[in-house]
Amino acid sequence: MRCLHSGANDVGSAQAFRVSDSGEPIDHATSKAALRSRLLAARRQLTDRERATAAAAVQATLHQVLAALPPPARGGLTVTAYAPFGAEPGGADLPDVLLAALADQPAGGRLLLPVLRPDLDLSWARYEGQLAAGHRGMREPVGPRLGRGAVAEADLVLVPAVAVDQRGVRLGRGGGSYDRALARVPAGVPVLALLHDGELLAEVPAEPHDARVTGAVTPASGLVRTATGGSDPIAC
């Protein structure tokens, strides 16, 4: 499995976000919004073929990540992921790909997907092959809701992101759902963001509430560890 560490030369250059052109501190929320808008616009320019090729590469790395995880003492793996929509990395079939990969594990496993609550926090439900339309365009599992704390049982957490930097700072879509969810993940559990090429940056503007990820998966680079990911158990 390709496994790079933050600071490797594949990490793209990013603009400096700490000060404005005038030298005065700028509002990080504003700079995050501008960066988010630019990167999402670039995603929309990807052709169907480019999206499919990128998704296949990300999925191949995730197969290797699952194989590299040590088996939990309690039995099968628990993985939390999401159902990509539009141009999100991973491909629309990501839940089914992960479900099949977990079925191939020696002790099996379960896949939990998020359910968006009215307060924009995330509950979770087990995915067993069926999705339904949910809030804000999300596709959600139809099984019983397991509550917000279910993410704390995960052995691997996969999250969407618009960008990630070398420190592990994650840029999402601005709703704060994953910042709250990731605060419930125990230390030492690998948290990986799925990205397109060009979305792994030298620096992303950060605010105090921003949760960090231990790594990212990109089509060209495979698994890239961030500075936050020194203690996760993925062997590479």
Q: What residues form the annotated binding site for substrate?
A: 88
Binding site residues for ATP, as ranges? 32-36, 170-178
User: What per-residue string of b and e applies to 54-84 under the rule 16 or more CB within 10 Å gives b?
Assistant: bbebbbebbebbbeebeeeeeebbbbbbbbb
Count Cβ atoms below 10 Å from residue 227 Cβ, excluding itself.
15
* All residues at 6 or more sequence positions from 174 whose CB lies less than 8 Å from its CB, including other chains: 32, 33, 36
Residue type, 135: H
Q: What are the angstrom distances between the C-alpha of 206 and each of 9, 23, 128, 186?
A: 22, 18, 36, 21
Binding residues: 32-36, 88, 170-178
